[in-house]
Structure 1
Amino acid sequence: MPIEIKMPALSPTMEEGKLAKWLVKEGDTVASGDIMAEIETDKATMEFEAVDEGTIGKITVPEGTEGVKVGTVIALLVGEDEDASAVASAPVPAEAPKAETAEAEAPKAEPKTPESAPAPAAPAAPQTISSKEGRVIASPLAKRLAAAKGVDLDSLTGSGPNGRIVKADVEAAQPGTAKPKAAAPANDTAPAPAAAARPATVEMAAETRALLDDRIPHSVEKLSGMRKTIARRLTQSMQEAPHIYLTVDIRLDKLMAMRAELNAALEKQGVKVSVNDMLVKALGKALIDVPECNVSFAGAELIKYERADVSVAVSIPGGLITPIVQDANGKSFSEIAKATKDLGKRAKEGKLQPAEYQGGTASISNMGMMGIKHFTAVINPPQATIIAIGAGEKRPWVMPDGSLGVATVMTATGSFDHRAVDGADGARLMAAFREYVENPLGMVA
């Protein structure tokens, strides 16, 4: 009996995903551990590995399909003693959703004339180049290794299923064999640029049509899974968590001076500490000092955390993600700098694992580098605390001796879930955060 390959839950909160790309096709043989597909969750694109071995008898959900529910049968795998042809002719399971691709949703074109219709393609033999996409068939890991070693994938013969290039093939190749890509020749067979630039047609929902003003030039695009999740979670946060906002002005001069000394000392190690790295540390220390704010509201219970895992808001194409600096209170400035650099880079590449961006005990959102002086942030559920950081700027300031001077000052606003955090406790957290920033030696004492 064929084995049903189902849409996996790649994170604890995943309910559906997009089957971004199949890396195998019907008739391919797979073994346990082979990468079969790339699946796009709300935050990242992740590889899906085979658990069993056998032959792909039927792919029931085509690549590009959005909104595939967890548990939906996406392919059928047959064993050695089973008839793959019988499985291939089986009907597609009813629960397989329709592909929401531009091709599927666009109006159907007029039938082609016999003169323009392409000739039937001959059955393709196993080969290295995919005739469908004109690309080398290689696992994502093999492609990354090839790019790092400078290996030309076109020069390799794959040892994987159907001639697919795998990690071992790249490791055995000589580095530095990559050739610069030649420019595409300009000839009459090249596709017209206008056809490639034509926007895809999407099927609009009734509420979209009701809002649309056809008098204004416009385009309509489907919401990505990430944007849908952001909309859902932020709406949930604002509807369910009564926000209370507390704002303080914080002097940065001592912090900036310490940062300059730290970076001079760390220059040989190639580490550069940012102001935001130091603010992450300050929030981590403040959360330990005021544990009443290092909590999550769970309805009938209140969850209290003994470690400060600070989520850092990072803007990425198409949305926002909050990678977590674990144990921010216990890490050194250089450790936080290395962690935030790595997390931010992989966040923008879509390579974070769910455990690296789901969870955390509090968040920090810094828009100061964009020149924003003051803003309020929406709480990132199930957390109860987030601090919004504004730009540091020169302001008139009353010095400790009572004289009037000029200081570098930023505005920070804490948003708290009032179900879990009382105003007085939130005020204590903001005071502790300000104390660590204005007297940064306290963070290393």
Structure 2
Amino acid sequence: MPIELKMPALSPTMEEGTLSRWLVKEGDSVSSGDLLAEIETDKATMEFEAIDDGIVTKLLVAAGTDGVKVGTVIAMIQGEDEDAAPAPKSTAPAAAREASKTVEVGSKPIETPITISKADVQKQSSGDERIIASPLAKRIAVNKGLDLTSVKGSGPNGRIVKADVEAFAGGVSAPSAVHNSPPLPLPAPHAAIDTDIPHEVIKLSNMRKTIARRLTESKQQVPHIYLTVDVRLDALLKLRGELNASLEARGIKLSVNDMLIKALALALVQVPKCNVSFAGDNMLQYARADISVAVSVPTGLITPIITDAANKSLSKISTEVGELAARAKEGKLQPHEYQGGTASISNMGMMGIKQFDAVINPPQGMILAVGAGEKRPYIVDDALAIATVMSATGSFDHRAIDGADGAMFMKVFKELVEKPLGLVA
């Protein structure tokens, strides 16, 4: 039976992608795990691999094609022991395509191949044919020593995919579990702008399209509440200088943002009512603080995640932020490095921004916007003095977080920054 290869959803937010280039051609023999093509998603350029052995009989979508919808048949594979059958046209009705075998394509990031033998992968399903999982999910399970019989699949027909295994390993619900409510209708397309002003038409990248859609949805669907505090930074800056002097031999230099990430994570642990996600009739209460750090890249904005930041040292946070930011700018982040997170931080203080309100990144329940530290008149010990002060604004999802809880969170965050020895305790 011919096998349809469909455009995969390589991230929870992906609705369409660009088929950048094919790594195979018609007539090539492929085996499970072989790389087939490169796909540009809303976050990065990814490779995807074959699930079954066979011969590529037809490439239905040309390399370089933009706006390929998730689920579109992009190629056909014929089993090597079967007679070749004519490939369907890509415009065939959806009902007819569903009659053929559907294959979910696994994904993995470029330049980070997983080296697990097929024998190891097969151990996950030997003796139990009822386990339906992608090869990549099985490999990750082998790496982490997980039993796939305990993992609930969120893919088609209950298929276990990579996100399910990683969510199970991390003790956090898979991303698909958060979106219980039906999606809102898509907005009407914007009318073309008729102007005689000299201009250049710039095509939006997949990332920019996703940013526009998700931020619009966030402001339309999530009732934001904003709470601002002024935070004195003098003690934190003094401690940072002392720590950097001691870390110089190890080649580590802490930034103020590294320390604020730790303070944000500890505040979420101390005020767990703010470490949540609204999920329709339910609310997810997270057991750890995974902090998404906003990083500007040439095509837009991406938020790599510092996992369990409350329990990591400042030096470890600093190293991870540097490595993740570098890979983000190269478009080489792995999906699990930017998918998820329980809260975000956006710091525009280095650009001189005094204060701003950030838009929540669903399904997270909050984001912290950090402004510049500047010398201001400040009351210190009941006397007017000059202090280095920073304004921080928390944006909270009011469906899940009450104003009083948000205020308590901001109070705890302020105390952690102004008495920073708690960050290294």
Question: The TM-score by the shorter chain falls in which range?
Answer: 0.7 to 0.9
Equivalent runs, 1:331-350 vs 2, <5 Å: 331-350=312-331
Secondary structure (helix, strand or coil) at the match of 1:346 reads: helix
**d(CA) in 2 for partners of 1:221, 1:439:** 48
| 1:65 aligned partner | 65
2:283 to 302, 316, 341: 302
Q: Deviations over 1:346-383 (max 9, x none)?
A: 11111122222122111110000111111110111111
**d(CA) in 2 for partners of 1:422, 1:305:** 17
Tell which deviates more after alignment, 75-84 or 372-381. Answer: 75-84
> How far apart are residue 92 of structure 1 and its match?
2.6
Q: Does the CA contact (< 8 Å) of 1:310 and 1:361 recur in 2?
A: yes
> How far apart are residue 216 of structure 1 and its match?
0.7
1:372 matched to 2:353: yes
**d(CA) in 1 for partners of 2:83, 2:413:** 67
> How far apart are residue 62 of structure 1 and its match?
0.7
| 1:178 aligned partner | none
**d(CA) in 2 for partners of 1:246, 1:294:** 16
**d(CA) in 2 for partners of 1:304, 1:394:** 38
User: What residue identity is the alignment partner of 1:230?
Assistant: I
> How far apart are residue 255 of structure 1 and its match?
0.7
What TM-score do you get using the length of structure 2 for normalisation?
A: 0.75
User: What residue identity is the alignment partner of 1:368?
Assistant: G
CA pair 71-260 structure 1, distance change in 2 beyond 3 A: same
**d(CA) in 1 for partners of 2:364, 2:390:** 24
| 1:420 aligned partner | 400
1:3 matched to 2:39: no
CA pair 212-430 structure 1, distance change in 2 beyond 3 A: same
**d(CA) in 1 for partners of 2:91, 2:189:** 25
Identity level (%): 66
Q: Does the CA contact (< 8 Å) of 1:7 and 1:69 recur in 2?
A: yes
Q: Does the CA contact (< 8 Å) of 2:53 and 2:80 recur in 1?
A: no
Q: Does the CA contact (< 8 Å) of 1:72 and 1:95 recur in 2?
A: no
| 2:418 aligned partner | 438
Q: Does the CA contact (< 8 Å) of 1:2 and 1:76 recur in 2?
A: yes
1:233 matched to 2:214: yes
Q: Does the CA contact (< 8 Å) of 2:110 and 2:332 recur in 1?
A: no
| 1:221 aligned partner | 202
| 2:300 aligned partner | 319
**d(CA) in 1 for partners of 2:29, 2:56:** 6
**d(CA) in 1 for partners of 2:231, 2:36:** 52
What TM-score do you get using the length of structure 1 for normalisation?
A: 0.71
User: What residue identity is the alignment partner of 2:55?
Assistant: T
Q: Does the CA contact (< 8 Å) of 2:60 and 2:73 recur in 1?
A: yes
> How far apart are residue 15 of structure 1 and its match?
2.9
1:409 to 381, 389, 392: 389
User: What residue identity is the alignment partner of 2:77?
Assistant: L
Q: Deviations over 1:46-88 (max 9, x none)?
A: 111122223222100111112222222211123334556x64x
2:373 to 392, 400, 405: 392
CA pair 216-268 structure 1, distance change in 2 beyond 3 A: same
1:212 matched to 2:209: no
Secondary structure (helix, strand or coil) at the match of 1:302 reads: strand
**d(CA) in 1 for partners of 2:72, 2:65:** 12
**d(CA) in 1 for partners of 2:77, 2:288:** 45
Q: Does the CA contact (< 8 Å) of 1:73 and 1:95 recur in 2?
A: no
**d(CA) in 2 for partners of 1:32, 1:248:** 55
**d(CA) in 1 for partners of 2:245, 2:112:** 39
**d(CA) in 2 for partners of 1:242, 1:75:** 43
> How far apart are residue 310 of structure 1 and its match?
1.0
> How far apart are residue 27 of structure 1 and its match?
2.3
CA pair 207-292 structure 1, distance change in 2 beyond 3 A: closer
**d(CA) in 1 for partners of 2:194, 2:335:** 36
User: What residue identity is the alignment partner of 1:93?
Assistant: S
Equivalent runs, 1:9-48 vs 2, <5 Å: 9-48=9-48
**d(CA) in 1 for partners of 2:38, 2:229:** 45
User: What residue identity is the alignment partner of 2:25?
Assistant: K
Equivalent runs, 1:172-191 vs 2, <5 Å: none
Tell which deviates more after alignment, 365-374 or 225-234. Answer: 225-234
> How far apart are residue 212 of structure 1 and its match?
2.4
CA pair 318-13 structure 1, distance change in 2 beyond 3 A: closer
| 1:127 aligned partner | none
Secondary structure (helix, strand or coil) at the match of 2:24 reads: coil
> How far apart are residue 258 of structure 1 and its match?
1.0
CA pair 41-142 structure 1, distance change in 2 beyond 3 A: closer
Q: Which runs of 5+ in 1 are unaligned?
A: 98-138, 144-204
**d(CA) in 2 for partners of 1:271, 1:57:** 53
**d(CA) in 2 for partners of 1:442, 1:140:** 39
Q: Deviations over 1:373-400 (max 9, x none)?
A: 1111011111111110001111122222
CA pair 430-355 structure 1, distance change in 2 beyond 3 A: same
CA pair 290-25 structure 1, distance change in 2 beyond 3 A: same
Secondary structure (helix, strand or coil) at the match of 2:310 reads: coil
Secondary structure (helix, strand or coil) at the match of 1:48 reads: strand
Q: Deviations over 1:93-150 (max 9, x none)?
A: 21599xxxxxxxxxxxxxxxxxxxxxxxxxxxxxxxxxxxxxxxxx96499xxxxxxx
| 1:125 aligned partner | none
Aligned length: 337
Equivalent runs, 1:36-185 vs 2, <5 Å: 36-82=36-82, 87=86, 90=87, 92-94=89-91, 141=111
Q: Does the CA contact (< 8 Å) of 2:259 and 2:423 recur in 1?
A: no
> How far apart are residue 307 of structure 1 and its match?
0.9
**d(CA) in 1 for partners of 2:343, 2:288:** 11
Secondary structure (helix, strand or coil) at the match of 1:94 reads: coil
Q: Does the CA contact (< 8 Å) of 2:45 and 2:110 recur in 1?
A: no
Secondary structure (helix, strand or coil) at the match of 2:401 reads: coil
